[in-house]
Amino acid sequence: MLPLDYLHALCLAGVAIYLWQREPPRLLLTPMMLVSFIVLYGIGNIIYFLGADTLPDVRFAVTASLIMMWLGLIAGIELARASMPALAAQSARVIRTWPGAALGNRAETDELVAAVGVLAALFMLTVFLALGKPGQIHTFMTLESAREKWKYRNELGGQGGYLYQLLAVSVAPFLSLLLLSKAAAGGRRYLRVTGLALCGVVLACKVGTFQKIPWVIYLLQLIVAFQVRRRLEISIGRVMFFLVVVLLSVLGAALIAIPEQLQATGIFEWLAYRFFEINNEGIYQTFYVYPRYLPHTWGMNIGLVHGLFGSGELLPAYVQVANFFGAFGATFDAFFVADAWVDFGYLGVLLTAVLVGYVVKMVDIYVTSLGKTTLAVALVASGMYGLFQLLVTSAFTAFFSGGLIFIPLLVLASQGLINDLAHGQRQWQR
């Protein structure tokens, strides 16, 4: 081990103490983010480097960046608390009283949400059937080799266009979670029927991407929504339940997608590789390529920045890294730290970590300040997909395509519109 590895281990111990004292384990985005990062990129990173054949300078850069990430995350979380003290205090009060509070619901929006849910379900189902996804899924299931399935997924998994993909990834799951939460609070049958129908469509669309994980994450979101309606605290029983669900779901998806790999390596070896090694290997490979063989991109790896100031087609870093290692057509997904490193090096890692900590904590503060409501429950469960995106891709992808910022902003805009319409109706009635 390098001396810096011991410093990283000490840093992880400090983060664990911070987590216990300032962000106790709860079904909220901030503690869940810290816990998942500690497991996958804290403990997981140390395990990976113990067995991997690595270059000392690349290993040093990865470890130093992870240490800077932890410092940046905590700084961002505390900055969020300090920037909105009144809202943070209200959030803390709501969290303390959450278990004993009744689930509130804004009943006047029930019909509107149901109508939007029906429209979303019809649109997604129409596109799903028009693309011939049922037949594609059947064909995918009959393919025997992992190579054939990988090629099939790359060719057909991203079909449907931007609106369809955005609905399937973040917007429609949020709507389904909101509808089911409203049904639990108000007992209206049409909300439950609409919510379940939308759930079925969303699940089908996620399976239609032929990816192993998105539909698993959606099942977890449904479980989280159910659990959050009761309480936020995470008990040992809840932890074990979530672990069993994740392991069984991932194994089921792997048996469909890569059965021969499971048979060759064994279940437990594959799980260790999938949850610890492959994630940290992606970070190491990115740091190996940038800037040793390819220069830092100085923002041109960010889609919006490239669209405004770049030229030609954007070839993301995860594709560049895959091409460098000869895996043409593949994508080497990596932690958001790797994407930040590609753009701006150490400074990018630190500033992006501060931004991530600030955004995630601000979303938590905003959501819990709403009280124990159906909207808050849906936002908490919806945000779990954004956290998953942070684990495997860039921060900006998680913020917008993953819905971490986009969904709360959409809710704020919708609430403003509904309030204006309600105010106008009351004025007209007078």
pLDDT, mean of residues 254-277: 63
Residues 6+ apart with CB under 8 A from 154: 329, 330
Q: Report which residue type is found at 172.
A: A
Residues 6+ apart with CB under 8 A from 227: 27, 238
Please give the DSSP secondary-structure letter assigned to residue 373: B
236: its two tokens: 């040992």
User: Which pLDDT value is given to residue 330?
Assistant: 62
Confidence of residue 427 (pLDDT cuts 50, 70, 90): low
How many other β-carbons are positioned within 10 Å of the β-carbon of residue 25? 17
Q: Taking the domains of the chain in order of start, what are their residue ranges? A: 3-101+276-379, 107-228
User: Which pLDDT value is given to residue 301?
Assistant: 84
Q: What is the pLDDT of residues 125-151, one digit of tens each?
A: 999 999 999 999 889 888 877 677 778
Confidence of residue 239 (pLDDT cuts 50, 70, 90): confident
Tell me how far apart the alpha carbons of residues 327 and 154 are, in angstroms, rounded to a whole number.
13
Tell me how far apart the alpha carbons of residues 142 and 118 are, in angstroms, rounded to a whole number.
33
**Cβ-based burial of 251 (10 A; exposed 0-12, middle 13-18, buried ≥19):** middle
Q: List, in sequence order, every residue forming a beta bridge with 104; answer none if it has no partner.
A: 373
Q: What is the pLDDT of residues 161-217, one digit of tens each?
A: 889 999 999 999 999 999 999 999 977 899 999 999 999 999 999 989 888 788 888
The CA–CA distances, whole Å, from 426 to 106, 369, 422 equal: 17, 27, 6
User: Which pLDDT value is given to residue 146?
Assistant: 67
pLDDT, mean of residues 88-115: 92
Tell me how far apart the alpha carbons of residues 70 and 52 are, in angstroms, rounded to a whole number.
23
Q: What is the pLDDT of residues 300-312, one digit of tens each?
A: 887 778 777 777 7
**Phi, psi (5° rounding) for residue 310?**
-90, 180
**Cβ-based burial of 324 (10 A; exposed 0-12, middle 13-18, buried ≥19):** middle
DSSP string, 122-134: HHHHHHHHHTTHH
CB 116 within 8 A of CB 175: yes
How many helices (H) and strands (E) are present in the chain, helices listed first?
Answer: 22, 0
Tell me how far apart the alpha carbons of residues 339 and 321 are, in angstroms, rounded to a whole number.
11
User: Which pLDDT value is given to residue 258?
Assistant: 61
Tell me how far apart the alpha carbons of residues 421 and 368 are, in angstroms, rounded to a whole number.
25
The CA–CA distances, whole Å, from 52 to 99, 118, 279, 319 equal: 45, 51, 13, 23
pLDDT, mean of residues 63-80: 96
Q: Report which residue type is found at 396.
A: F
Residues 6+ apart with CB under 8 A from 120: 167, 171, 172, 175, 198
